[in-house]
Amino acid sequence: MLICPVRGCQQALAPADHRLLCPRGHSFDVARTGYTNLLQPQDRRSKNPGDTAAAVAARRRLHDRGFTAPLLEAIATLAAPTAHDIVLDAGCGDGFYLGSLAQRLSCQGHGVDISVPAVDAAARRYPSCQWIVANADRQIPYANATFSLVLSITARMNAPEFHRVLRPDGRLLVAIPAPEDFIELRGATRDRVERTVETFRRHFNLLAHHRVTTAADLDPASVLDILLAIYRPLQSTPPTATHVTFSLDLLLFAYGGEGATI
């Protein structure tokens, strides 16, 4: 299922003594926490790409306090994964959404993210899933037609690669911030639904659109965690308790589109 990321190789990777090894001899160590780093030097723009350890920890605290539970439930309802699904989360972060679904349904979960701290955190908490460090904006290190469900939750939107790794009978769920997401902290943003649908039009057909919105009264520490998670500079004085809105537009797609061959 996994393929070698070395340029020009693309051979299948197989486990061998705490490593992943391809027939051409390219070898990748499996970390003690269970993830594998397949990120190639040409696929990153900085020494430590992606989410910082501080941002990963902040998001995890928000998840653990239950603020994002309604978002998870809405994603589970629309995507409707089953125990028979093989699921990819592209841009998985700390693994909350994929790991939670895999624990609940016993489906096969595979998460990819460019951030080592994020993937390490995911592997530590959700060891039943496979966690890979890679740049999903470039190439997803899995073979063609591997997955029955692909998730992109406020993360990567690589339509050609999603189409390549998805089965012809598969589905794709894309979650994007809705205009009111964190409106109290960063103001209203543009509605991204039309632009996102257009991004995927050539490879996928839209099946459904659902907007999920919830709100919570946050203490100052949780507000600071949101600011860390969305890369807003921290204020000189801690913010007071704030009523904050969480809102996502969920777009469910089927394999297809103008450029698809089924």
Give the residue extent of every domain in the chain. 1-30, 34-255
Query: Any idea what the Cα angle at residue 89 is, between residues 83 and 93, rounded to 5°?
Result: 125
Q: What token pair was written down for 165?
A: 């790794």
- Whose tokens are 């100052």? That residue is 220
DSSP string across 17-51: SSEEE-TT--EEEBPTTS-EE---GGG-SSSS-SS
- pLDDT of the residue at 44: 73
- pLDDT of the residue at 235: 56
Q: What token pair was written down for 244?
A: 């904050």
Higher pLDDT, 189 or 144: 144
Amino acid letter, 242: T
Mean pLDDT of the chain: 92
User: Cα torsion for 94, 160, 12, 27, to the nearest 10°?
Assistant: -50
pTM over 0.85: yes
Q: What is the spatial distance between Cα 32 and Cα 134, in angstroms, rounded to a whole number?
A: 18
For residue range 65-74, list pLDDT tens digits in order: 999 999 999 9
Task: Find the largest Cα–Cα distance for the chain.
Answer: 58
Orientation of helix 116-125 relative to helix 53-64, angle to 10°: 40
CATH number for the domain formed by residue range(s) 34-255: 3.40.50.150
- pLDDT of the residue at 259: 47
Nearby residues of 221 by Cβ (< 8 Å), 6 or more positions away: 238
Q: What token pair was written down for 93?
A: 């972060």
Under a CB-based contact definition with an 8 Å cutoff, are residues 138 and 118 in contact? no
For residue range 191-216, list pLDDT tens digits in order: 999 999 999 999 999 999 999 999 99
Higher pLDDT, 237 or 119: 119
